[in-house]
């Protein structure tokens, strides 16, 4: 049902480097970059992740309560993505572990956007 999720950035070049490395771990490739928005996907039929400079030209800010959850398929991959995010300069928002019916770790990207790398089955 979800086509893609967009996260705001104030530094597209830094965000692109972060997500190239992070989403590359999941087999996703950058499929578009027009200098304002970049999009990653495994295929056009699967949900995509985008980062962009806001269209209105104002500063990108983090939405309180807003989060992107990446279903990565296994506990091992959830831990790998979480650790990769921290290696790339992201910050910890909750180490990988069981959270009821899901297992995963929370982190923030370089712009402060919150993400959750998870798998079903806590």
What global pTM score does this model have? Answer: 0.91
122, pLDDT greater than 80: no
- Tell me the residue ranges of DSSP E strands in 1-122: 4-8, 29-33, 37-41, 48-52, 68-71, 91-99, 102-108, 114-120
Mean model confidence pLDDT for the chain: 95
For the domain covering 4-54+64-120, report its CATH number: 3.10.180.10
- The tens digit of pLDDT for each residue in 39-80 reads 999 998 999 999 999 999 999 998 888 999 999 999 999 999
Strand ranges across the sheet with 48-52: 4-8, 48-52, 37-41, 29-33
Would you list the domain boundaries of the chain? 4-54+64-120
Closest CA to 83 of 28, 21, 10: 21
């Amino acid at each position: 049902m979800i086509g893609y999720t967009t996260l705001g950035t104030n530094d597209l070049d830094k965000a692109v480097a972060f997500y190239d490395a992070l989403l590359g771990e999941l087999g996703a490739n950058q499929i578009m970059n027009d200098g304002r928005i970049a999009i990653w996907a495994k295929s056009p039929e699967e949900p995509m992740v985008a980062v962009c400079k806001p269209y209105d030209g104002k500063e990108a800010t983090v939405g309180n309560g807003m989060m992107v959850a990446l279903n990565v398929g296994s506990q091992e991959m959830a831990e790998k993505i979480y650790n990769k995010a921290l290696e790339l300069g992201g910050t910890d928002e909750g180490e990988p572990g069981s959270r009821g019916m899901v297992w995963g770790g929370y982190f923030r990207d370089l712009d402060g956007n919150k993400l959750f790398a998870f798998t079903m089955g806590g």
